[in-house]
Chain A
Amino acid sequence: DAGITQSPRHKVTETGTPVTLRCHQTENHRYMYWYRQDPGHGLRLIHYSYGVKDTDKGEVSDGYSVSRSKTEDFLLTLESATSSQTSVYFCAITALENTEAFFGQGTRLTVV
């Protein structure tokens, strides 16, 4: 498996609290992505990064922000968590545009 680690793996948080999920890679890949997975919706792109400090929005970016200050780390922040953000979050990395994506193990987030 590619060197990609997500933390935490599980989290329960209350509505209105901020939450930060971390994705760490040891592959030195340029591109990093955050997806969320919900039943019936497959994998939907939240945000992605194409380099340090270079990020862009995906199809479901509302309520989320990201930061990438180092090649190896890509942080996803929910500024004020809502129940609709209960989901499984996956980080992915690719070496080049549109090439094979390696996924982390996922973070199961529950907002109560």
Chain B
Amino acid sequence: GQQVMQIPQYQHVQEGEDFTTYCNSSTTLSNIQWYKQRPGGHPVFLIQLVKSGEVKKQKRLTFQFGEAKKNSSLHITATQTTDVGTYFCAGPRAGTALIFGKGTTLSVSS
């Protein structure tokens, strides 16, 4: 069945270092979404990418959607302690609901 995979599962960085998480789908996606979940919290929408090769930036976060619309990445420049949490990618399942990757949990030490 349709799968969305994320790597790495965990990443620890020193504050100020960069961080990247990768998302790969077994099928072509009409769009890809990214969410952030703080420890003990609920997932919060960050962004949606729709176009092939699309790149969007939100301050220190850069999101990319692959040319084939099967992969995506989230890059954080100069991580801060406020970036701690789990980052999920999600794509539309055949039908209606979003299918989520298992997430990448980021920890940051100062």
Q: Please list the residues of chain A having a beta carbon within 8 angstroms of any beta carbon in chain B.
A: 31, 33, 35, 40-45, 48, 50, 56, 58-59, 90, 92, 97-106
How distant is the Cα of A44 from the Cα of B99 in the complex, in angstroms? 7
B45, closest chain A residue (CB): A100
Asked, given contacts A42-B101, A42-B103, A98-B98, whether A103 binds B42 with beta carbons under 8 Å apart, the answer is yes
Residues A100 and B48 in contact, CB atoms below 8 Å apart: yes
Set of chain A residues within 8 Å of B6, measured between Cβ atoms: 42
Give, as a whole number of angstroms, the nearest-CB distance from A77 to chain B: 19
| CB 8 Å contact bits of B21-48 with A (1 = contact, 0 = none) | 0000000001101010000001111001
Question: How many Å lie between the Cα of A92 and that of B1 in the bound state?
Answer: 23
Going nearest first, the 4 A-B pairs with the smallest beta carbon separation are: A42-B102, A98-B92, A43-B100, A103-B42
User: Which residue from chain B places its CB closest to the CB of A48 in the assembled complex?
Assistant: B97
For the complex with contacts A33-B97, A98-B98, 14 further pairs of A-B residues with Cβ separation under 8 Å are A42-B102, A45-B97, A45-B99, A48-B97, A50-B96, A56-B96, A90-B42, A90-B43, A98-B92, A98-B96, A100-B33, A100-B48, A101-B45, A104-B42
A101 touches B101 (CB 8 A): no
Measured between alpha carbons, how far is A99 from B35 in the docked complex, in Å? 12
Q: List 17 A-B contacts (CB under 8 A).
A: A31-B96, A35-B100, A40-B102, A41-B102, A42-B101, A43-B100, A44-B100, A45-B99, A56-B96, A92-B43, A97-B92, A98-B96, A99-B48, A100-B45, A101-B43, A101-B45, A103-B43
* Interchain CA distance A59-B97 in the complex, whole Å: 10
Assembly CA distance A42 to B86 (angstroms): 10
Report the bound CA distance from A48 to B97 in whole Å. Answer: 7
- With the chains together, A58 CA to B6 CA distance in Å? 20
Tell me which residues across on chain B come within 8 A of A97, comparing CB atoms: 92, 96
